[in-house]
Amino acid sequence: MSETVFSGRVFKVVREEVDLPSGRRARLDLVKHPGAAAVVPIDDQGRVILLRQYRHAAGGWIWEIPAGTLDPGEDMEQCARRELAEETGYSAESFEKIAELLPAPGYTTERIHVFVARDLSPAKQSLDPGEVLEVHRVDLAEARAMVADGRIQDSKTVCGVLLASARGQE
Amino acid sequence: MSETVFSGRVFKVVREEVDLPSGRRARLDLVKHPGAAAVVPIDDQGRVILLRQYRHAAGGWIWEIPAGTLDPGEDMEQCARRELAEETGYSAESFEKIAELLPAPGYTTERIHVFVARDLSPAKQSLDPGEVLEVHRVDLAEARAMVADGRIQDSKTVCGVLLASARGQE
């Protein structure tokens, strides 16, 4: 049993009856999401490009790496390249996938593919009407400090900064 | 303008018309979530207690730290203590908050408070009927390896393992 109870622009909500491995049946409300790509863009000086973005759901301005929802027919690297250019005004020669993340596996099907991008060059920034953000460049060591002291709270950004650092992406 | 378009057991969905700092108005669909607590439980041998949990939204079994949604009237540390006991069968003497995470600030208001718990002792495990999970103990270094090679994909667990490690919680 699967019933669509809400259908919006970014996600829909379905109520499903599922058979659990325990043998029980459960009724779950799930956010069905097309998936997303996120990018840790690192420039030639070892600085990461971070967005200071207004997020109504988070109650204000937060720090994030560039990211966005998969468009129909797109693959994840195309999505990462598109979002990098649209949000930051940079394109990148090199894209390397470093993680797949489940942001909230209790209730959303969203899966975020995280890339490190290098060899940056200027491209055309093109924000959606609803996007409100500033583009900043921050040393990777400073980004780690922002994670450690709680200035960065967005999960994909915490993961992206720490995973890129652990791989020696400096 | 704020209209509830779906109301379920764990979250509701509201459609809001909001004034952005850019001066534009935008219509957003938001998952309204009460918030959650997550726990990195570390035993006297430096092992972290991880759950192998069946998550329908994620398509199967995944690795997670114990976590759960805030009950009405609860504070975050109470929630963390309750979820630790219910899911793992351990209580902890010491709770230290290490992070607040935004799992998906584009569309959900959820905020996850992450704690490190130490000085563990046996308590009464008490799973919800819909929870299907196994309790494992893993060296913190092995948990970091599981993050690095992609066996751990849940964002709060990636963040929890890496942040606890960075604070020298070994």
Band (B169; pLDDT cuts 50, 70, 90): very low
Residue A132 host element (H or E): none
Taking the C-alpha atoms of residue A136 and residue A49, their distance in angstroms, rounded to an integer, is 6
Q: Is B161 on the interface with A (CB under 8 A)?
A: no
Amino acid found at B143 = A
Residues of B in contact with A109 (CB under 8 A): 57-59
| Residue B155, pLDDT above cutoff 80 | yes
Per-residue pLDDT band at B153 (split at 50, 70, 90): very high
Is the pLDDT reported for residue B168 higher than 90? no
Give the model confidence (pLDDT) of B69-113 as tens digits: 999 999 999 999 999 999 999 999 999 999 999 999 999 999 999
- Complex-level ipTM beyond the 0.95 threshold: yes
| CA angle, B82 then B85 then B86, to 5° | 80
Question: What's the rounded Cα separation, in Å, for the pair A84 and A77?
Answer: 10
Record: contact A100-B150, CB cut-off 8 A: yes
d(CA B36, CA B114): 9
Q: In this complex, do B101 and A156 lie within 8 Å of one another by their Cβ atoms?
A: no
pLDDT band with cut points at 50, 70 and 90 for residue A64: very high
| Domains annotated on chain A, with CATH | 33-166 (3.90.79.10)
- CA pair distance B22, B19, nearest whole angstrom: 8
Cβ neighbours of B28 (radius 10 Å):
20
Q: Does the CB of A168 have a partner CB in chain B at under 8 Å?
A: no
Q: What is the pLDDT of residue B35?
A: 98
Q: Distance (Å) from the C-alpha of residue B91 to the closest C-alpha of chain A?
A: 23
Is B23 an interface residue toward A (CB < 8 Å)?
no
Q: The dihedral of CA B73, B77, B79, B82: what is its sign?
A: negative
Rounded mean pLDDT of A40-62? 98
Q: Do A150 and B56 touch (CB under 8 A)?
A: no
Tell me the pLDDT band of A169, cut-offs 50, 70 and 90.
very low
Residue B170 has pLDDT above 60, yes or no: no
**Reported pTM:** 0.97
Task: Calculate how close chain B gets to A156, using CA atoms only, in Å.
Answer: 7
